[in-house]
Amino acid sequence: MADKVTVRDVAAEAKVSASTVSRALSSEDLVAPETRRRILEVAQNLGYRPSPVAQGLVAGRSKTIGLLVPDIEHPCYSAIAKGVYGQALREGYSVVIADSDNDASYEIAAARRLQDQTDGLIVCSSKMSEQDISALNTAGPVVLSNRVCPGVADVGFDATETVRQAVEHLHALGHRSIAYAGGPEGSWSDEKRRKGLASTAPKLAGLEITDLGHFEPGFGGGGSAADLAMASGATAVLAFNDFMALEIMARLRRRGYRVPDDFSVVGIDDIQSANLTSPALTTVRTPLRQIGQASVNKLLDIVAPQAAPRPAIKLPVGLVVRESTSPPTRAAATKPTPAMEHVA
């Protein structure tokens, strides 16, 4: 927005008309080579830079996409944001971002605002009602990430598969009683995980799943989940996400339990800090960056379709076995005698 030099300035200086300048800049051979050369030189000297705003106005599109996340500080969403930004860049698009602060009611206002300003929207883990989402989708192109809504494009990994891999891992290690520490009430992805649990558990011999309830990750929810997990008699816990798993681990250790010796812990997502604790966290990696990229591709296939649709991006989930899981070593459902200080 700081540019004062316009096509007209360049035109005047190069002794041509404004349209010729425009042409020279937009195409290779719409203008005589010599003229073009001169125009380009003048433009260069004057430091001319076309205004994307004006271009957008005439073209009816801004080459900008909107990204709405619940919390940009959450590692999952900043990972998605990174993927979105990278892919958008490759496609020549800018990204304007909005953070709803987990506020469902603000989400819709923010989304509308973004729509007025962009060519399309990527909405992550929306808590909006299906009606609201549909309405949004009517107002402009929308791609949902980590959420589905009938009639609206979406991108997501197989959440069922994440818990399947986690549970199978624990089962293979010998665990037969596993606790699940769920995410916030009303979380769409928590529901998905629960469904995965329900469909996986029956296939595994002798496996018993205890639902610990809903918890708020990042706000101490993991603490209470940890205590419930121990009281439940389970030998392992699967957490809604890595944050909660980390909280659980920390709480267990403070209460004097050893991980994984006394209790195994598995998270989901593989955020960076999962690998920075000791023991490092066993978790199921979730393809967050790729989700960002895929969302951009899907959105642009709607907004700016090409002859060949943009390539699909694989969204593999994968177990990452680290140190927080091992075979159950204590007699199942028997509490150890915890030292009451943290173990060092």
30 contact, one of DNA, a copy of itself, none, CB 5-8 Å limit per kind: DNA
Residues in CB range of 118: below 8 A, 6 or more apart: 62, 64, 65, 66, 96
What's the closest the beta carbon of residue 137 comes to DNA, in angstroms?
21
The candidate with the shortest Cα–Cα distance to 241, out of 122, 156, 159, 169, is: 159
32 binds DNA (CB under 7 A): yes
Tell which phi-psi region holds residue 21, choosing left (phi > 0), alpha (psi between -120 and 50) or beta.
Answer: alpha
What's the closest the beta carbon of residue 110 comes to a copy of itself, in angstroms?
8
What's the closest the beta carbon of residue 17 comes to DNA, in angstroms?
3
Site string for DNA, 312-341 (x = CB under 7 A): ------------------------------
What's the closest the beta carbon of residue 44 comes to a copy of itself, in angstroms?
14
- Tell me the number of residues near DNA by CB under 7 A: 32
Tokens (6 digits) for 147: 């959420």
What's the closest the beta carbon of residue 284 comes to a copy of itself, in angstroms?
18
The candidate with the shortest Cα–Cα distance to 139, out of 155, 160, 123, 162, is: 123
Q: Secondary structure of 180-247 in the HEC alphabet?
A: EEECCCCCHHHHHHHHHHHHHHHHCCCCEEEEEEECCCCCCHHHHHHHHHHHHCCCEEEECCHHHHHH
Residues that bind a copy of itself (CB under 8 A): 1-3, 47, 49-54, 56-57, 60-62, 64, 71-73, 75, 78-79, 81-82, 85-86, 94-99, 101, 112-120, 139-141, 218, 243, 246-247, 249-250, 253-254, 258-259, 261, 272-273, 276-280, 323, 342-344
